[in-house]
Amino acid sequence: MASNNQKDCISPNSGAPFDKWSNTTPAQLQASLDAINRKSFSELKEASSRGSILLSIANLIEKNRKDFEGLIVTEVGKTQAEAISEIDYSKSFLTYMANAISSLELTEQLEPNRKVTTVPRGIGLLITPFNDPLAGITRKIANCIGSGAGAIIKPPELGIKTATKLEEILKQEKLDHILSFVRTGDRNLIQQLMAADEIGTISFTGSTEVGVLLSTNAGRNLKPFVGELGGINPFVIFSDADVSKAVDDLVVRKVKAAGQACSAQNILFVEKKVADYAIQKIEDAFSKIKASATDSVAEAKMGPVRTKKALETLYMFEEKLIRAGATCVAGSQNRTKGPGFMYDPTAFLISEPNLFLEYEIFAPLLGICVFEDREKLRETIRSNKQPLVLYAYSSDEHYLKEFISGLNYGSIGLNDTGIQGAHAPTGGFRQAGLGREGGTWGLSEFTTTINVKEVSSTE
């Protein structure tokens, strides 16, 4: 057991501690805040300096690739292939922004005697998620450094060792006056930090419940808030779709990171004419994928869910589904045994989608609902309270465009699930989030303007 001053890091692969971590003290945090406020803005004044630092961080990550890969596998249970992909993904945000700001015009001349300068709002407070323990940090620091500001990063307790490794290599390269980390579970300390005058923009990725609390606190302190929050993401297969491709894409998207991604689909709506075929293909695909300890099974196709609590919540949700008359069509009867938080891909067939539209399923659990009335389906999808991502498959491209017209989802994939990228904005509507990350849209969340009009004193 860890002491009062240290906390255990539990690996989802084994359910046992693999390391420890200690809280950042208030004095350490204040020293970091002071250093960043004193040094980062001058060093990041020029776009070329911002680009150089972003590329330096990307190079540091590449040099330490093997360490990061091992930590991601051990700490969050991703497969080796997923960990490798995350390293590349994390670097892409840094290199994209470095290139994007090389042509950034920081000052615009509106009139002969008036100019508008784009400036950072202040130091960024970046609260990052566990499911992408490295990329979840770099996608935020790319926007923040790109704006010309340093940042305080608050990594999740469930991804803290990956973040600590990044902190270590940044310190070695004398970049800790640009980026500093606060390791804490103390909500009061975070609230105090949010209220600090030096903090300009607060960026958070996580649950809607926590996001609402943070955005309320940010608003109380008149701080801009960017939140990518929980999403309820429908996946639609129409009868004229390439069902084989649709199911293949669905399965890959659903089991990636054991379903622990904001963009993973919660529920499949499949048109009645092709429902039996689609469900059989899902059953066949899920039966070939078992949750495995990714730190010991080299060819693991999927890892565990992150915590014991998450696993217990899944079992309780299954019971609720069964009481509501749902039928398990894949996975649940054949549990993976052994240590760790293993949950095999599972699908439940339901007559009404309500349960899956009320809860974000942050796991490899899929709801399946057969539909006949396309207009009723569209209204169901339109009324979603957490519209983050929508996927729809049909061979009729004209109809797909009509179908999504007026559906406000942050990202929509038509016959494709590859919706994300460093150059593209992500975020949601309503309770799925506020603001955007990625591309120049994410950059703008950290900036504001100064309007300067100058008249010569001799005039």
Average pLDDT over residues 222-251: 96
**Beta carbons of 120 and 32 less than 8 angstroms apart:** no
pLDDT at 116: 93
The fraction of the chain above a pLDDT of 90, given in percent, is 89
Say if residue 103's pLDDT is above 90.
no
**Contacts of residue 65, Cβ cutoff 8 Å, sequence gap at least 6:** 87
Say if residue 458's pLDDT is above 90.
no
Q: Read off the pLDDT of residues 11-66 as tens digits, 9 standing for 90 and up.
A: 999 999 999 999 999 999 999 999 999 999 999 999 999 999 999 999 999 999 99
Residue 188: its H or E element? helix 187-195
Say if residue 299's pLDDT is above 70.
yes
pLDDT at 334: 58
Average pLDDT over residues 338-357: 92
pLDDT at 1: 46
Average pLDDT, the chain: 93
CA distance linking residue 259 with residue 305, whole number of Å = 8
Q: How confident is the model at residue 336 (pLDDT cuts 50, 70, 90)?
A: low
Per CATH, the architecture of 234-421 is what? 3-Layer(aba) Sandwich (3.40)
| Overall CATH class of domain 6-229+433-453 | alpha beta
pLDDT at 333: 63
Quote the DSSP letter at residue 103. G
Q: How confident is the model at residue 298 (pLDDT cuts 50, 70, 90)?
A: confident
Ranges in the chain annotated CATH 3.40.309.10: 234-421
Ranges in the chain annotated CATH 3.40.605.10: 6-229+433-453
Say if residue 228's pLDDT is above 80.
yes
Average pLDDT over residues 216-245: 95
Say if residue 256's pLDDT is above 50.
yes
SS3 34: helix
Say if residue 201's pLDDT is above 50.
yes
Q: How confident is the model at residue 454 (pLDDT cuts 50, 70, 90)?
A: confident
Residue type, 224: P
How long, in residues, is the chain? 459
